[in-house]
Amino acid sequence: MLLDRRTFAASSAALVGGCATVGARPRAIAGCTPLAPVNVDAGRVIRTVAGLRPYRAAGFVVRREALGNKALVHNYGHGGGGITLSWGSSRLATNLGLSGHSGSVAVLGAGALGLTTARLVQEAGFPVTVYAKALPPHTTSNIAGGQIETAYLYKEDAVTPAWRQQLMAAMDYSWRRWQIMVGDEYGIRWLPTYEETQLSGPNPMDAYYPATKVLSRAEHPFPLDNVVRFETMYVETGHFLRQMMRDISIAGGKFEVREFPNAQAILGLSEKLVFNCTGLGSRDLFGDQDLHPARGQLAILLPQPEIRYAVSGGPGYMFPRDDGIILGGSFELDEWDATAQPDRIARIIERHKRFFQGFRCTA
């Protein structure tokens, strides 16, 4: 099984903890897949960012309810899986909301969940307006690493069997939708991914990680004992969100920068069907006290085109993108300050520097 980054409990300690052990100088090892190490140095950092994941131990919410004379459909609380699950969760939400509806539709929020919801509303033939406190590039989704994997999503003992079915339904549609969008137009590509593993048996999610192979220590260069290799997709999030706004606008959708101080303010909208995709904003807007911020911090290095793989575990994670090498690995629950902390960023950089210096064979 892949390292279960899909839950909070299994992952947080591993990814915010100490450094990988630095091994011997790289040398030829029979059977080892040579990979180019990332050149990690504080002088190569081009920007640092922090974002607040909308984390719920009991998992994300897709639910319909009445709000005055309106139908309100919630679609929020996806933790670190917002990009991954956006298409599938939004499909669940639109299936709940659009049946029997006529007329225009409102979507609250312009992150990945809001934009995919709006696009699915349009594909079903309805006019849509997106109301948001901020538009891309000023959303939490813009800060996401973009790996298609359900990370930092829920706590294992807090979810129900019915919610697990909801998760699998969302993942299944997202998985198929992302595949037909691969390419430069939306900034999506497949990459081989190496992940530290706990080797604890099969998981229902394993079907979404093709070409999985557990590697012996001799087959990989990483200073880790247990590693699995698989293929998954990566989304250059800023590029994807820009293209989604383009698609929505071309199809006649509208965007309005607007903040709602409370749920009652939504009653002033002309639309009778409203999708709530406000992420962490749902804590105050709809009183969901089970929703907590989980701060993630990233250091982005200069692009390194020869890096054609991703890795997670040990020091955190490294995802290569055209706009830079993404280094991350923090999960700071109940931290509300959405600014990068220099001490945390320094630790992320140092851990990754030691990790890549510890390669046992290189290209």
* pLDDT, tens digit (0-9, with 9 covering 90-100), for 297-317: 999 999 999 999 999 998 999
Whether residue 17 is predicted with pLDDT greater than 50 in this model: the reply is no
Rounded distance, CA 148 to CA 135, Å?
A: 22
Tokens of 274: 């409203």
The whole-model pTM stands at: 0.91
- What are φ and ψ of residue 304, in 5° steps? -135, 90
The mean per-residue pLDDT over the stretch 357-363 comes to 84
Cβ burial of 60 (10 Å; 0-12, 13-18, 19+) is buried
Whether residue 187 is predicted with pLDDT greater than 50 in this model: the reply is yes
CA distances from 246 to 88, 124, 138, 254 (A): 21, 18, 16, 11
Ordered by where they begin, the domains of the chain are 1-21+53-291 (3.50.50)
* pLDDT, tens digit (0-9, with 9 covering 90-100), for 43-73: 999 999 999 999 999 999 999 999 999 999 9
Whether residue 229 is predicted with pLDDT greater than 90 in this model: the reply is yes
Whether residue 31 is predicted with pLDDT greater than 70 in this model: the reply is no
* pLDDT, tens digit (0-9, with 9 covering 90-100), for 100-136: 999 999 999 999 999 999 999 999 999 999 999 999 9
| pLDDT value for 32 | 76
Whether residue 2 is predicted with pLDDT greater than 60 in this model: the reply is no
Residues 339 and 48: beta-carbon distance below 8 Å: no
The mean per-residue pLDDT over the stretch 251-262 comes to 97
Residues 147 and 317: beta-carbon distance below 8 Å: yes
115: nearest Cα among 275, 321, 292 = 275
Q: Beta strands 324-328 and 291-301: pairing type?
A: antiparallel
Confidence of residue 29 (pLDDT cuts 50, 70, 90): low
Task: Provide the H-helix boundaries in 224-341.
Answer: 237-250, 282-285
| pLDDT value for 195 | 95
Q: What count of residues does the chain have?
A: 363
Whether residue 18 is predicted with pLDDT greater than 60 in this model: the reply is no
Tokens of 244: 């989604």
